[in-house]
Amino acid sequence: MSAFARPVIAGNWKMHKGPGETAAFFAAFLADVRVPQDRTVVFFPPAISLGAARDALDERRDILLGVQNIHWESQGAYTGETSAPMAADAGAQLVLCGHSERRHVFGETDEEVGRKTAAAFAAGLVPMICVGETLEEREAGSLEVVVLRQLDAALAGLADSEVTRVAVAYEPVWAIGTGRNATPEDAAAAHAILRARLRARIGDAAANVPILYGGSVKPENAAALLAASDVDGLLVGGASLDPAGFGRIVNAG
């Protein structure tokens, strides 16, 4: 990931946009939005729409694609799942690991996130490891304990050389899809905690690991968040579904 220009602006479409809608989105986005060369843009469409996204982007090397989830096994009797090798074969370059909705809606554990992160590397995918605390955990003063536990578990199966190639996304659960976002100061404080842990693990190479903020990012707050200390990009949810609005975020800062 360190080879990618920063800031990294990523759009997570969640369970939105089938193949037809995906083609229409990119037709509008590519026609109207200029992607600056000083940053990296990533889309995480639903797995069923990855092929449509790949076809729409064609030879656009400045826009990357990822999947929202993988299974840690490379193949097997896991109905409904997608393996990392399958995702790579379909055109994905990145994968979200441990998004809060996977953790809190589907019960994904820290251990499972670690297994998925290792599987991503084995298949040549870049894992974007998501960490973040709930409102209850934040109010209990447990932000640091929670995000470091999640980060450590995700990195547990990786060699130090692999850790240098991950991306991390801090997404406070209380700010996702709620319209309530962390302030730039909140983001900077959490990112500093994560950066310090990465530095303890891989030394100065920690500076090469992009840490993105995610949680109710909008065109109106994107520039302020990107200006915060240690914020290397944005993981955008609902606001990434609108070509024009996401284009404003892509060009923010």
Contacts 24+ apart (CB under 8 A), 242-246: 243/25, 243/28, 243/29, 243/32, 243/33, 244/28, 244/32, 244/33, 245/218, 245/219, 246/11, 246/29, 246/33
- Give me the catalytic one of 108, 112, 133, 171: 171
Q: What pLDDT shows up at residue 64?
A: 97
Q: What pLDDT shows up at residue 3?
A: 67
Query: CA 180 to CA 49: how far, in whole Å?
Result: 29
CATH class of 8-250: alpha beta
pLDDT at position 216 over 70: yes
104 assigned to active site: no
pTM of the model: 0.96
pLDDT at position 137 over 90: yes
Q: What pLDDT shows up at residue 102?
A: 97
Q: Is the dihedral of CA 127, 2, 192, 250 positive or negative?
A: negative
Region of 244 (left: φ > 0; alpha: ψ -120 to 50; beta: rest) is: alpha
Mean pLDDT of 116-140: 96
Give Cβ neighbours of residue 37 (< 8 Å, ≥ 6 apart).
5, 62
Query: CA 197 to CA 177: how far, in whole Å?
Result: 28
Q: What are the structural domain ranges in the chain?
A: 8-250
pLDDT at position 183 over 60: yes
Distance (Å) of CA 4 to CA 46, 166, 170, 177, 246:
23, 11, 19, 27, 19
Distance (Å) of CA 186 to CA 24, 64, 124, 153:
36, 28, 33, 23
pLDDT at position 225 over 80: yes
162 assigned to active site: no
Distance (Å) of CA 119 to CA 42, 73, 84, 127, 154:
20, 7, 6, 9, 11
Q: What pLDDT shows up at residue 241?
A: 98
Q: What pLDDT shows up at residue 2?
A: 52
- Give me the catalytic one of 99, 101, 112, 191: 99
Q: What pLDDT shows up at residue 200?
A: 98
Instruction: Tell me the three state secondary structure of residue 211.
Output: strand
Residues in a beta bridge with 66: 94
